[in-house]
């Protein structure tokens, strides 16, 4: 990536979560770290986002309660997301809040993963200039998707506008060049 310390932060967080047993506890749910940390766009306030596939949400809730239920700040919430049920487990880990998002669908089909892929591809197309512009927006307090949407001048709901993972490289390059490089 464009920030060597970002890669180091990602590896540090990943390894600390491993030492705390997070990956082992979630192994049967195929965990994937998503969000700002793998992109190097995290801030001091960033939580650790983990996506999992939980065909049995009851088993996922039980695993979370058994593993982290005794920690201060632990919570479980259920909601409907993208037309299917979801469970969000939050607990402190690695001196950050860890948020595990579970749905009964493969991680690759979940919106958080789709954003991760699109954002990575946009950063690849936009290079260092786009990385620093999005990072500056993040440092001003914007969440990752709104930061990309602001910098690239994407209209509408940023969480919908960034579902670009299936766009061609040429289309992504066009988005970066036309919206980021042109005057406002």
Domain boundaries, the chain: 4-106, 113-181
Q: Give the Cα separation of 146 and 152 in Å (integer).
A: 10
1 pLDDT above the threshold of 70: no
The whole-number pLDDT of residue 2 equals: 59
CATH superfamily of 4-106: Beta Polymerase, domain 2 (3.30.460.10)
Q: Give the Cα separation of 65 and 2 in Å (integer).
A: 38
Beta carbons within 8 Å of 58's beta carbon, 6+ residues apart:
none
Per-residue pLDDT band for 145 (boundaries 50, 70, 90) equals very high
**3 state DSSP class of 165:** coil
Rg of the chain (C-alpha set): 17
The whole-number pLDDT of residue 103 equals: 97
Mean of the per-residue pLDDT values of the chain:
91
Per-residue pLDDT band for 180 (boundaries 50, 70, 90) equals low
Q: What is the mean pLDDT of residues 51-57?
A: 97
């Amino acid at each position: 990536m464009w920030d060597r310390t970002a890669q180091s932060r990602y590896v540090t967080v990943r390894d600390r979560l491993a030492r705390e047993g997070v990956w082992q506890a979630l192994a049967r749910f195929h965990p994937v770290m998503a969000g700002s940390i793998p992109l190097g766009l995290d801030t001091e306030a960033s939580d650790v986002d983990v996506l999992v596939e939980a065909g049995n949400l009851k088993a996922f809730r039980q695993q979370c309660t058994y593993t982290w239920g005794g920690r201060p700040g632990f919570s479980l919430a259920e909601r409907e997301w993208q037309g299917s049920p979801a469970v969000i487990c939050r607990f402190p880990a690695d001196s950050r809040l860890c948020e595990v998002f579970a749905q009964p669908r493969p991680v690759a089909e979940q919106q958080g993963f789709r954003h991760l892929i699109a954002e990575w591809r946009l950063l690849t197309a936009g290079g260092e200039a786009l990385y620093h512009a999005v990072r500056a927006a993040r440092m001003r307090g914007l969440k990752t998707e709104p930061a990309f949407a602001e910098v690239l001048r994407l209209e509408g709901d940023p969480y919908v506008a960034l579902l670009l993972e299936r766009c061609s490289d040429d289309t992504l390059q066009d988005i970066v060049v036309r919206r980021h490089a042109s005057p406002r």
